[in-house]
Chains A and B, each alone.
Chain A
Amino acid sequence: MPYRLTRAEEEQESSDRYPMGRRQSSEEYVKSQLERNVFTGKLSDVLNSAVNWGRKNSLWPYNFGLSCCYVEMTTAFTSPHDIARFGSEVIRASPRQADFMVIAGTCFIKMAPVIQQLYDQMLEPKWVISMGSCANSGGMYDIYSVVQGVDKFLPVDVYVAGCPPRPEAFLQALQLLQDSIQEERRPLSWVVGDQGVYKAEMGSQREQKRSQRIEATELRTPDKL
């Protein structure tokens, strides 16, 4: 259908005759509006992205701690570090209400079945952060009572190095987990799509930052503050 277009505010032309304004005929209007408003991408990408955005910005941590790392994890929850900035201040005492579990401390052989039980009680979607050397690999404790890394039985999403890691490191791990969640593809419903969970290969931070880190040539001496 042909339209007639009159612009509301337009540069005054030299003519001062009423009716003001320049009229022109246009057939492109509907077509262009159609192109602007109708989404031609994949709906599932948008939905996934929106759902992931929601998930990653309200991650509820499970109140679970094993050893020293838990103290630094708790420090991240309190005011000076304020984990609420990242939407994760809602600590849950029950695994059934939590989104992610931080293995903050040493994983003991006596404790491993308990950890497994608690992990099983968490509802999908769920994630695991392994915090500190002990949880990553056993760390300093290559000893009869310690499991050499919690990934011997749990799927780990983010590893945080340190013994114990600083609260800032834990917060960074949380952000890395958020980045990874943004890229995830999970079934949007039990009837939509294939029911697999696709996780993006996020790559190790050590490799990504190596070139930047080795640029440091002058290190501060410990003799002064």
Chain B
Amino acid sequence: MSTDALDRHAPAQSGIDRALGLLDGFREHIEHVQPTLTGLPVLWVRRERIVEILRHLKAPPASFSMLYDLSAVDERLRAHRDGLPAADFTVFYHLLSVDRNEDLIIKVALTGGDPNLPSVTRVFANANWYEREIWDLFGITATGHPHLQRLLMPPTWHGHPLRKDYPARATEFDPYTLTVEGQQTEQEALKFEPEAWGMQRERDGSEFMFLNLGPNHPSAHGAFRIVLQLDGEEIIDCVPDIGYHHRGAEKMAERQTWHSFIPYTDRIDYTGGVMNNLPYVLAVEKLAGIEVPDRVKTVRVMMAEMFRISSHLLFLGTYLQDLGAMSPVFYSFTDRQRAYKVIEGITGFRMHPAWYRIGGLAQDLPVGWQQLVQEFLDWMPPRLREYELAMMRNALVRERTRHVAAFTTTEALEWGVTGPNLRATGCNFDLRKQRPYSGYENFDFEVPLGQHGDVFDRGQLRIEEMRQSLRIIQQCVDHMPAGDYKADHPLTTPPPRERMLQHIETLITHFLQVSWGPVLKPGESLQMVEATKGINSYYLTSDGNNMSYRTRIRTPSFPHLQQIPSLMRGGFVPDMIAHLGSIDFVMADVDR
């Protein structure tokens, strides 16, 4: 880790001091202050007092009101631990304070064959799924957890896939077979047992109906299952069940090179395209110490905003379809086709261009791109006006969505809700403004806010966001900086081709970097971006290799789904469908 790179991304010493000051009463429990490239203070604390520490940090004056992320690292094979406390596994809690726009990462070292730590679900409600996830994938027990069961893997699964001694490839196991008996066993295991979730089967002599919605349901937007406990049409309680779309992206990152993992990021939020590349390449660039030219930053912003529009258009069509309106999807997909014309013209692919590179872009903008983008910019505003008139001002839509599935900012923060869904509650937290990255500070745009945090506001706000994205893209077209599309840095991948044609030395270097991929120095970095559906971040741990030691992908849709039961208790089934439409989630963004 070069010292200048550390300086540039290191949290201001004041941040660390403030964090230490907030934890003054727990000073003897702080084991280590870890220097990282995350830009955040990272404190290692002792396991015994973790619940008290987090409770203290959540309350004023610290006011870290959101548990932004919680996951673990299998430390057993990590070679470069430079002064870190001894650990077989590490659990980290990423806390976020929206008021102060400040973060803090708390890490806990676990040793021994049966790693466990106290559950923090009593402090942060949304720790529930995260703790189930680390039990499922790492075998780390959160003692005192109300329902510690597998979350992503099937209930019949053996082993904990994210442990380093667990094989990654499907081809390392016996080929998959499905027998009649196996089919019955699996279906039996999927059967819902209300008692296991502390639910009653009847009340006052009348039986509840348990409705299994999913894992394949037209309004569930993918492989998502939710079991509803119904009294008539009223939802008494519900249990979301996820993991039907777990593609093991985090494990995949541990065997792909830094470079060849880029296409996998596209497929996390699969409607977000290159928007997913952005946090990943930015985090890798922090590790590598690459500063990209202004042109690269601007092109990245332009394409990311194109995908925000394309994703929001998909949202708009399906959201209204879930409310029962059949036509809007035909309009919005026509617009998406226009957007894809631009995206395909520039990147060469529609949904998953994988177009950003470490230290730059796959290629420069093609000749004539301005006109292509301008056509789209001229096409969209009248369409958006029409959508607003025909759909959002429609009396039926308004009646159907006003004050439905509404939540407040406090509730949103409690459940880790970010992005448009958080801003619909009136909370002004947009990372493009609060923590500008990739040159967003140079753009003139507004952050649309809602008031009521209901289904209507979530829809209306996204139309407004599309307008702002169009504004940003227009500024990119008008003021595109000249310059190179790749950074002049030895770790830029793939390296500029002209460089390899000098002599045999440059050829060998080029060959190694393309075939093996770049080798990054040990360190940890993190990048959060305001993605299409909320805050998406990549927390990378490098062990000085050509691939990541651990890649933690924090996706916005995961907490959004976890919030559903708290919101829908007492609601009606059609309201839940409306809410599902308004969340804007894709399952790959939940299960990764």
Residues of A within 8 A of B (CB): 63-68, 70-72, 74-75, 78-80, 93, 106, 108-114, 116-118, 138, 140-148, 152-153, 163-164, 166, 222-225
* B243 CB contacts on chain A under 8 angstroms: 110
Q: What is the count of residue pairs linking A and B with beta-carbon distances less than 8 angstroms? A: 148
Among candidates B161, B186, B245, B369, residue contacting A67 with C-beta atoms closer than 8 Å: B245
A117 to chain B, nearest CB (A): 7
In the complex, the answer to whether A148 meets B183 with C-beta atoms within 8 Å is no
In the complex, the answer to whether B186 meets A143 with C-beta atoms within 8 Å is no
In the complex, the answer to whether A148 meets B244 with C-beta atoms within 8 Å is no
A61 to chain B, nearest CB (A): 12
Name 9 interchain pairs, CB-CB below 8 A, sorted by A.
Answer: A65-B222, A67-B588, A78-B329, A80-B334, A80-B337, A114-B244, A143-B248, A152-B175, A152-B176
A130 to chain B, nearest CB (A): 15
With A68-B270, A80-B334 already in contact, the answer to whether A144 and B161 are too (CB < 8 A) is yes
* B367 CB contacts on chain A under 8 angstroms: 223-225
In the complex, the answer to whether B222 meets A70 with C-beta atoms within 8 Å is yes
Q: Does B372 contact A (CB under 8 A)?
A: yes
Q: Does B300 contact A (CB under 8 A)?
A: no
When C-beta atoms are compared, the residue in chain B nearest to A66 turns out to be: B223
* A74 CB contacts on chain B under 8 angstroms: 329, 333
B346 to chain A, nearest CB (A): 8
Not counting A66-B223, A110-B153, a sample of 7 additional A-B residue pairs whose C-beta atoms are within 8 angstroms of each other reads A67-B245, A106-B247, A108-B246, A113-B178, A116-B183, A143-B251, A222-B363
A63 to B218, CA, bound (A): 7
* B251 CB contacts on chain A under 8 angstroms: 143-144
Among candidates B222, B267, B368, residue contacting A66 with C-beta atoms closer than 8 Å: B222
A205 to B571, CA, bound (A): 52
Residues of B within 8 A of A (CB): 152-154, 161, 166-171, 173, 175-178, 182-183, 186-187, 190, 215-216, 218, 222-223, 243-248, 251-252, 263-264, 267, 270-271, 314, 329-330, 333-334, 336-337, 345, 348, 350-352, 363-364, 366-369, 372, 587-588
* B248 CB contacts on chain A under 8 angstroms: 141, 143-146
In the complex, the answer to whether B372 meets A225 with C-beta atoms within 8 Å is yes
When C-beta atoms are compared, the residue in chain A nearest to B588 turns out to be: A67
In the complex, the answer to whether A71 meets B351 with C-beta atoms within 8 Å is yes
With A72-B351, A143-B251 already in contact, the answer to whether A113 and B216 are too (CB < 8 A) is no
In the complex, the answer to whether A78 meets B334 with C-beta atoms within 8 Å is yes
The 6 A-B residue pairs with the shortest CB-CB distance, nearest first, are A78-B333, A113-B186, A68-B270, A143-B248, A224-B367, A153-B178
Query: Would you call the interface of chain B mostly helix, strand, loop, or mixed?
Result: loop
Query: Which residue, of A70, A109, A145, A146, has the highest number of chain B Cβ atoms within 10 A?
Result: A145
In the complex, the answer to whether B246 meets A140 with C-beta atoms within 8 Å is no
With A64-B216, A145-B161, A222-B366 already in contact, the answer to whether A109 and B176 are too (CB < 8 A) is yes
* B264 CB contacts on chain A under 8 angstroms: 140
Among candidates B182, B190, B247, B270, residue contacting A146 with C-beta atoms closer than 8 Å: B247
A72 to B351, CA, bound (A): 8
In the complex, the answer to whether A144 meets B169 with C-beta atoms within 8 Å is yes
* B168 CB contacts on chain A under 8 angstroms: 143-144
* B169 CB contacts on chain A under 8 angstroms: 142-144
With A112-B178, A144-B170 already in contact, the answer to whether A225 and B247 are too (CB < 8 A) is no
A225 to B369, CA, bound (A): 7
With A71-B351, A152-B175, A164-B352 already in contact, the answer to whether A111 and B244 are too (CB < 8 A) is yes
In the complex, the answer to whether A153 meets B177 with C-beta atoms within 8 Å is yes
* B152 CB contacts on chain A under 8 angstroms: 145
When C-beta atoms are compared, the residue in chain B nearest to A115 turns out to be: B216
In the complex, the answer to whether B161 meets A68 with C-beta atoms within 8 Å is no
B256 to chain A, nearest CB (A): 9
* B352 CB contacts on chain A under 8 angstroms: 68, 163-164
With A65-B222, A68-B588 already in contact, the answer to whether A152 and B178 are too (CB < 8 A) is yes
* A141 CB contacts on chain B under 8 angstroms: 170, 247-248, 252
B365 to chain A, nearest CB (A): 9
B498 to chain A, nearest CB (A): 15
In the complex, the answer to whether B330 meets A78 with C-beta atoms within 8 Å is yes
* A112 CB contacts on chain B under 8 angstroms: 176, 178, 186
When C-beta atoms are compared, the residue in chain A nearest to B185 turns out to be: A113
When C-beta atoms are compared, the residue in chain A nearest to B251 turns out to be: A143
A104 to chain B, nearest CB (A): 10
A148 to B271, CA, bound (A): 24
In the complex, the answer to whether A66 meets B366 with C-beta atoms within 8 Å is no
* A144 CB contacts on chain B under 8 angstroms: 161, 166-170, 173, 248, 251
* A93 CB contacts on chain B under 8 angstroms: 218
Among candidates A67, A80, A148, residue contacting B587 with C-beta atoms closer than 8 Å: A67
In the complex, the answer to whether B244 meets A68 with C-beta atoms within 8 Å is no
Among candidates A64, A71, A143, A225, residue contacting B252 with C-beta atoms closer than 8 Å: A143
* A222 CB contacts on chain B under 8 angstroms: 348, 363, 366
* A146 CB contacts on chain B under 8 angstroms: 170, 247-248
In the complex, the answer to whether A114 meets B270 with C-beta atoms within 8 Å is no
In the complex, the answer to whether A116 meets B215 with C-beta atoms within 8 Å is no
When C-beta atoms are compared, the residue in chain A nearest to B246 turns out to be: A145
In the complex, the answer to whether A75 meets B333 with C-beta atoms within 8 Å is yes
A126 to chain B, nearest CB (A): 16
* A106 CB contacts on chain B under 8 angstroms: 245, 247
A117 to B271, CA, bound (A): 28
